[in-house]
Each structure stands twice: as structure tokens, then as C-alpha cells.
Amino acid sequence: MKEYHKKPRVLVTGGAGFLGSHLCAALLERGSEVICMDNLFTGSKQNIRPLMDNPNFEFIRHDVTVPLVCEVDEIFNLACPASPIHYQYNPVQTIRSSVIGAFNVLDLALQKNAKIFQASTSEVYGDPKVHPQTEDYWGNVNPVGSRSCYDEGKRCAETLIMDYHRQYGVKVKIARIFNTYGPRMHPQDGRVVSNFIVQALRNEPITVYGDGSQTRSFCYVDDLIDGFLRLMDSPDSLTGPVNLGNPVEFTIRELAEQVIQLTGSRSTLTFKNLPSDDPMQRKPNISRAQAELGWSPKVQLAAGLQKTIAYFDNLLA
């Protein structure tokens, strides 16, 4: 017999990471019970410390590659190292986390009749030949390169999600997340926003890879989490991938200049080699999210950077 319960019970894998900790906080705020599961590879207890006293919050230290059984109504699957430095540290474990992890959470969803949300990525588009990227673009991914453990792992997870939906009727959501930034990013994960802010606050040279003409579009974390919740709440008929990101595109050089200006830093730019398979441009087409979820990002880069700078300033003090 199904246990009686009032609040939706939500499992967040990777819940002690950057995005996961913001998601757990937002879910608690809307009255859910939250089980945060994380192996603490890149996440930390510090990120979820403010939630620990909440009676509706529970933390489980566990690896998503190992099956987990718990009573759940919804699952957000975020467990996977996300920055190039971290996902290339142990590439076999990275792809295992995406693929075996997807099997495990999908089997749990099937068993408990739970709805599942997969944190996918703009990296499924690889170095895109279509710009901006729409969800029906199949991508341009090197299957044997140094980023493949992440890109192909996430692509395979999307396949599994859709196959569990078609074959077993599991309710599924797929978010293709584009570069997102904000407080609680890992200061040493090598991602561009955290690197530039930390370097600027220390008045150290800002490391621009290549000539800085490559582009990215940066979404502030609060906007993204709003998109997560809207997607999870959307009608069951919306199963295919949905791009979530900010469509305003900047070159990496423009980002560096903006960070220097906002921090009042004495840092100068230093140019380093471009990493292999580094996409030259990336910008989401968010028409589907706008039409289906009524979602579009609201926080402009300068405002989001100011909040992120304040976080790192405090962290480094």
C-alpha cells in the first residue's frame, strides 16, 4: 500500500553542488520534502549548511552509480561533475555517473512511479554548426576527445530518458542547460566566471584562453532554477529536451573586461592556449522554453556578476 503523505517528496541527486544546493533551497521554499543525495566529489556540506536544520530536508552521502531505494514523487538528476577540470579528472567515473547514474534514477522512477528531470547540457551540441542552437539540432560532438566523457555521457543519458519514457511510460523532463553562474560556484573548478572573478579580486592576471573571441551566453542561477521548476511542473506531454539559458551572447574578452570593471581590479589580461575541442560559439534559442513554460531569464549579466562577486569576495576574505 502506498504510504500517505501530504508534501511532494523530491530527490535531488548532486544536491550539494552549485545548482543542486540552489534547487534544494527553492524546493523547500515551495513546501516540498527534499532528499539531497551527493557523493561530495565537487559539492560540499557548506553549500547546504543553511538547509540542514530544516525538518523537511535530509542529506544522504551516496554515489549515483550505486542503486538507491527511497520513497519519492519527483527526481531531479544533477549528479555529475560539470566543469572541464573536474569531469576530466576521472573521465571513466564521469561517464559512469551519467550513464549508470541515469539507469539507477530511471529504475527508481519506474519503481516508484515518480517523474524524473534530467540535467542535460548545451555540450550535447558540441562545437555547433547551427547558431543559435535549437533543440532539434543534433550537434557536432567529437566522440573520442577529452570532453567526450561528459558530452557523450550526457547524450546517452538523454537517450535512456527517452527510451524509459517510450518503453515504460516514465514521465520525463530534459533540460539542456547553458553556462550558468552565481554564488556557490566552486572557486577552483576552472570555469570562466569563477576564474575571472577570483583572479580579479586577487589582482592577478586574467587568463583568457585563445584570443577571447569565442562566445558564451551566461545565465544567472536564480533564473535557471525558476526554469527547472517550471519545466518539472509542465504538462506530461512535454517530454523532449528544452534549452534553458540566457540568449544574450558575450565574447570571453568582453566578460573579462566587465569583471575587471565591476571589481575595480588592477588585473590585466594574459592569453593562454585554447583547450582542445573548446566550442567557438554558444547561444541558446529559447523559443521552446518561452512558448511552453512562459520562461525567459530576467537577470542581466552586470547584476548577476555583482552578486557573484560579493559571494567570492566574502569567501576569499
Binding footprint of ligand NAD, residue count (CB under 6 A): 29
Residues 36/48, Cβ–Cβ less than 8 Å = yes
Nearer to ligand UDP, 51 or 185 (CB): 185
Report if residue 40 touches ligand NAD, rule: CB under 6 A.
yes
Shortest Cβ 209–ligand NAD spacing (Å): 17
Report if residue 246 touches ligand NAD, rule: CB under 6 A.
no
Report if residue 88 touches ligand NAD, rule: CB under 6 A.
no
**Dist CA 146 CA 232 (whole Å):** 32
Site string for ligand NAD, 269-308 (x = CB under 6 A): ----------------------------------------
Consecutive H or E run containing 9: strand 9-13
**Dist CA 285 CA 266 (whole Å):** 36
Kindly list the residues in this chain that would bind ligand UDP in the complex (CB under 6 A): 83-84, 179, 190-192, 195, 207-209, 214, 216, 252, 274-275, 278
Nearer to ligand NAD, 94 or 267 (CB): 94
Residues 148/126, Cβ–Cβ less than 8 Å = no
The listed partner (ligand NAD, ligand UDP, none) that binds 251, CB under 5 to 8 Å by sort, is none
Helices (H), 169-243: 192-201, 221-233
**Dist CA 44 CA 51 (whole Å):** 13
Report if residue 41 touches ligand NAD, rule: CB under 6 A.
yes
Which letter does DSSP use for residue 213 in this model?
A: -
Consecutive H or E run containing 251: strand 249-251
Among 32, 104, 121, 243, binds ligand NAD (CB under 6 A): 121
Shortest Cβ 75–ligand UDP spacing (Å): 25
The listed partner (ligand UDP, ligand NAD, none) that binds 252, CB under 5 to 8 Å by sort, is ligand UDP
Residues 246/218, Cβ–Cβ less than 8 Å = yes
Nearer to ligand UDP, 179 or 296 (CB): 179
Shortest Cβ 178–ligand NAD spacing (Å): 6
Nearer to ligand NAD, 20 or 132 (CB): 20
Which letter does DSSP use for residue 210 in this model?
A: T
Report if residue 312 touches ligand NAD, rule: CB under 6 A.
no
User: From residue 28, how far is each of 36, 51, 57, 227 by CA, in Å?
Assistant: 11, 9, 7, 16
Among residues 282, 293, 84, 104, which one has the least CA distance to residue 177?
Answer: 282
**Dist CA 201 CA 234 (whole Å):** 41
43-82 residues in contact with ligand NAD (CB under 6 A) are 43, 63-65, 78-82
Consecutive H or E run containing 73: none
Cβ-proximal residues to 264 (8 Å cutoff; 6+ apart), any chain: none
Q: Which amino acids are annotated catalytic?
A: 150
**Dist CA 220 CA 308 (whole Å):** 9
Nearer to ligand NAD, 11 or 260 (CB): 11
Shortest Cβ 182–ligand NAD spacing (Å): 9
Shortest Cβ 18–ligand NAD spacing (Å): 4
Residues 21/43, Cβ–Cβ less than 8 Å = yes
Nearer to ligand NAD, 47 or 263 (CB): 47
User: Which stretches of the chain bind ligand NAD, using CB under 6 A?
Assistant: 13-14, 16-20, 38-43, 63-65, 78-82, 97, 101, 119, 121, 177, 179-180, 186
